[in-house]
Amino acid sequence: MIAYNSERFSLVLLGKTNSGKSSFLNYISDQDVSIVSSQKGTTTDPIKKSMEIHDFGPVLFFDTAGFDDDTNLYEKRIEKTKKTIEKADLILYFLSMEDELDDIFKLKKEYKNIIFIASKQDLDIGEKIFEKFESINPLKINLKNKNDRDKFFDKIRSDFKIEDKTITKNLVKENDLVLLVIPQDAEAPKFRLIKPQVMTIREIIDKNATAVSTNLKNLENTLNSFNKKPDLVITDSQYFKEVYNILDKDIKLTSFSVLFSAFKADIDYYIESVKKLDEGARKILIAEACSHPPISEDIGRVKIPKLLKKNYDKIEIEFARGDDFENIEKYDLIIQCGACMFNEKYVKERIKLAKEKNIPMTNYGIVLAYLNGILEKIYI
């Protein structure tokens, strides 16, 4: 079976200061990624390292500040660590002699996906750590033994599986012709495609279908060059109305944002939530994962607010960027971007929080289809 899920599996390294987290990241990646020092508080902001584990898939490691960091920046560092935990598909907890067994049992109960590591097996303290926590069967790692790197990878492969998921689901099958409408406006990055576009094209190819890309200006010429109608058109959500008006109405239409809301979010919740606009939702948070400077054609800062204000009176809009997602209870509706920079775990943590606080939440693609009056015509 082809695994269509090209999302990176996130592993977060946790533990007290000097428990071996940074040394392990350097060891496992065979690179000097993190600064290693006996001084407490050496690791400040979480450090990221992406790599590929053979026969498992793409992964992303996060090295975090130690929990017992007693420097002046302790609280800010720990807050960063907590936000990183929200993104974790798997926690790697590095044991130390300062840990209490009762606390470790609480961690084991709180987190379903957690591996406890007794590192420093190349030092005398390593065996003492293992003996203290032998009852939880920690994984022993000797940083001077290259074979332990394979032992760690084997543990990941045997205990965890990256779920087979498909972005396009049953919308694309073998031998289909799929047309992708990719914007070339000021917001598009120079000389490259963005992550959802790359992932979608790769999946279409893996399904033995044909992917053809064009822009809005050249859409009609591209359609006329085909000897048959495309089986599916995937557009950037901001061009829903223009693309819908050009296409024959028997051609299936969706967008990258809509596909990704089903791929790693909760599309039913998103569709139900967007209807709150017609039920009086007026204080709105637009939450964007990216942190690029806003520009004149920005979809989240300019285009969606303009459409909202055109369709509804007395709309109040506030914005959040990156990991900023605080005090959401004051909003009537949250509009999340496509969240291509967030993994599924973190997107669903946001959705979980919104549901707990009874705050409707949707995303860019669903909002744009709804405001253009074509949501029911879009394939999901």
* CATH of residue 106: 3.40.50.300
The verdict on residue 2 lying in a domain is: no
Q: pLDDT per residue over 197-254, tens digit each?
A: 999 999 999 999 999 999 999 999 999 999 999 999 999 999 999 999 999 999 999 9
pLDDT at residue 88 tops 60: yes
Instruction: For residue 58, give both structure tokens.
Output: 């793409």
- Residue showing tokens 């058109």: 233
Predicted confidence at residue 3, as pLDDT, reads 37
At residue 4, does pLDDT exceed 70? no
| 194 φ, ψ (degrees, to nearest 5) | -90, 165
Domain hosting residue 314, numbered range? 267-377
Residues 152 and 198 in one domain: no
Question: Which run of H or E residues covers position 370?
Answer: helix 364-371
CATH of the domain at 196: 3.40.50.11420
pLDDT exceeds cutoff 70 at 45: no
Domain stops at, among 212, 236, 258? 258
For 279, residues 6+ apart whose C-beta sits below 8 A from its C-beta are: none
Q: What is the DSSP letter of 303?
A: I
Spatial CB neighbours of 309, under 8 Å, sequence gap ≥ 6: 315
> Are 210 and 272 in the same domain?
no
Where does the pLDDT of residue 42 fall: very low under 50, low under 70, confident under 90, or very high at 90 and above? Answer: low
- What's the pLDDT score for residue 144? 93
Q: How confident is the model at residue 70 (pLDDT cuts 50, 70, 90)?
A: low
**pLDDT tens digit sequence for 242-265:** 999 999 999 999 999 999 999 999
Q: Is the pLDDT of residue 40 over 60?
A: no
Asked if 127 and 24 sit in the same domain, the reply is yes
Q: Is there a single domain that holds both residue 271 and residue 141?
A: no
Flag whether the pTM goes above 0.85.
no
Q: Average pLDDT of 164-193?
A: 85
Last residue of a domain, one of 159, 194, 216: 159
> How many separate domains does the chain show?
3
pLDDT at 44 over 70: no
In a domain, 3, yes or no: no
Handedness of CA 372, 373, 377, 380 (dihedral sign): positive
Distance CA 230, CA 232 (A): 5
Q: Residue 197 falls within a domain, yes or no?
A: yes
Contacts of 229 (CB under 8 A, 6+ apart): 177, 223, 248, 250, 251
293 & 327 share domain: yes
More confident residue, 290 or 348: 348
Domain-embedded: residue 1: no
Output the CA–CA distances (angstroms, integers) from residue 289 to 86, 284, 311, 335, 352, in the order listed. Answer: 14, 16, 25, 11, 17
Handedness of CA 288, 355, 165, 255 (dihedral sign): negative
pLDDT of 1: 29
User: Is residue 251 located within the same domain as residue 226?
Assistant: yes
Claim to verify: residue 16 and residue 147 sit in the same structural domain: yes
The verdict on 89 and 112 lying in the same domain is yes
* pLDDT for the residue 262: 92
4 is a domain residue: no
Residues 114 and 253 in one domain: no
